[in-house]
C-alpha cells in the first residue's frame, strides 16, 4: 500500500497514467466498432446483453494478460520466418486478426449490398433457431477479436510503463468508457444505415493495418485515426444535411 502511495505521489506517474488511458481508449475504438456492428445483427432483445458480455470479456482478457506480462513480452520474440520476414507470435496473432476482420467486413458489406430475401429467415435458418446460434456465434467472434486487440493493447501498455498497477487502472478506465459508449454508438450505427458502410470500411482499414504491422510495416496510428475522424466528420455533415432536407416542405426539396 505504501509503495502505491509513493508511486502516485510522483507527477510522472500521473502523466504516464493519463497518456496510457488516452492510448487505451483510442485502441478500444476498433474493438467497440466491431462489437457494435456485430451485436446489431442480433435480435434486439439480445443486443445489449451481447455488448456487455463482449466488453466484459475484453476486460477479463486484458486483466488476465496483465498477470502474465513476462509471457506477453516474450510474444514479440521471432519464432518463424515467412516471405523473408521473421514473425513472432504477436505478429501471427495480428495477421490472423487482420485477416478475420477483412473477411468479416467484406462479408457484411456483401450482405448489405445484396441482402438475403426472406424476412423470417436468418442465414438460411428459421429465426427461432438463429437466436441462440446467432448469439453464440456473435460472442465467439467478439471473443476472438477481443483477444487480438487485448494483446495489442497490453503490449502497448508494457512499452509505455513498467508499473502493472498503472496498466490495470488504465485498462479498467478504458473498458469502462467502452461500456458507457457501447449502446449510444450501436444505436447511432443502427439508426443511420450509411454509417454501417463507413464503419465496415473502418474495419477493413484496421484489418489491413493489423496485417501490415504483423509483417513488420509500422503504420502510425495517428494517421489511421485521423483518416477515420475525417471520414466520420464528413458522414456527420451528410447526416445533418439529410435531416435538414427532411424538415423542408415537399415543394422546397
How many other β-carbons are positioned within 10 Å of the β-carbon of residue 129? Answer: 11
Give the pTM: 0.68
What is the band of 58 on the pLDDT scale with cuts at 50, 70, 90? confident
Residues 6+ apart with CB under 8 A from 89: 75, 77, 79
**Backbone phi and psi for residue 131, each to the nearest 5 degrees, phi listed first:** -60, -55
Taking CA atoms, 202 is separated from 130, 153, 162, 198, in Å, by 27, 18, 32, 6
Q: Check residues 164 and 210 and name the one with the higher pLDDT.
A: 210
pLDDT at 118 over 80: no
Does residue 71 surpass a pLDDT of 80?
no
Which stretches of 161-192 are DSSP H helices?
164-191
11-47, pLDDT tens digit by residue? 777 777 787 788 778 777 778 888 888 888 888 888 8
User: What is the model's pLDDT at position 120?
Assistant: 42
- Give the integer Cα–Cα distance in Å for 229 and 243: 21
Amino acid at each position: 500500500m505504501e509503495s502505491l502511495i509513493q508511486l502516485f505521489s510522483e507527477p510522472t506517474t500521473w502523466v504516464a497514467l493519463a497518456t496510457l488511458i488516452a492510448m487505451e481508449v483510442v485502441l478500444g475504438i476498433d474493438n467497440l466498432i466491431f462489437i457494435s456492428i456485430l451485436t446489431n445483427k442480433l435480435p434486439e432483445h439480445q443486443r445489449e446483453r451481447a455488448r456487455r458480455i463482449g466488453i466484459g470479456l475484453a476486460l477479463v482478457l486484458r486483466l488476465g494478460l496483465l498477470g502474465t506480462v513476462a509471457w506477453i513480452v516474450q510474444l514479440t520474440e521471432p519464432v518463424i520466418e515467412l516471405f523473408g520476414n521473421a514473425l513472432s507470435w504477436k505478429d501471427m496473432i495480428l495477421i490472423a486478426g487482420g485477416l478475420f476482420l477483412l473477411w468479416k467486413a467484406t462479408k457484411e458489406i456483401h450482405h448489405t449490398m445484396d441482402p438475403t430475401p426472406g424476412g423470417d429467415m436468418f442465414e438460411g435458418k428459421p429465426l427461432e433457431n438463429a437466436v441462440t446460434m446467432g448469439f453464440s456465434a456473435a460472442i465467439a467472434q467478439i471473443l476472438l477479436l477481443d483477444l487480438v486487440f487485448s494483446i495489442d493493447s497490453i503490449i502497448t501498455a508494457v512499452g509505455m510503463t513498467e508499473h502493472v498497477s498503472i496498466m490495470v487502472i488504465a485498462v479498467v478506465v478504458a473498458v469502462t468508457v467502452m461500456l458507457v459508449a457501447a449502446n449510444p454508438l450501436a444505436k447511432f450505427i443502427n439508426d443511420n444505415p450509411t454509417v454501417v458502410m463507413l464503419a465496415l470500411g473502418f474495419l477493413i482499414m484496421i484489418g489491413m493495418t493489423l496485417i501490415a504491422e504483423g509483417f513488420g510495416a509500422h503504420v502510425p496510428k495517428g494517421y489511421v485515426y485521423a483518416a477515420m475522424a475525417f471520414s466520420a466528420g464528413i458522414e456527420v455533415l451528410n447526416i445533418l444535411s439529410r435531416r435538414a432536407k427532411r424538415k423542408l416542405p415537399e415543394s422546397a426539396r
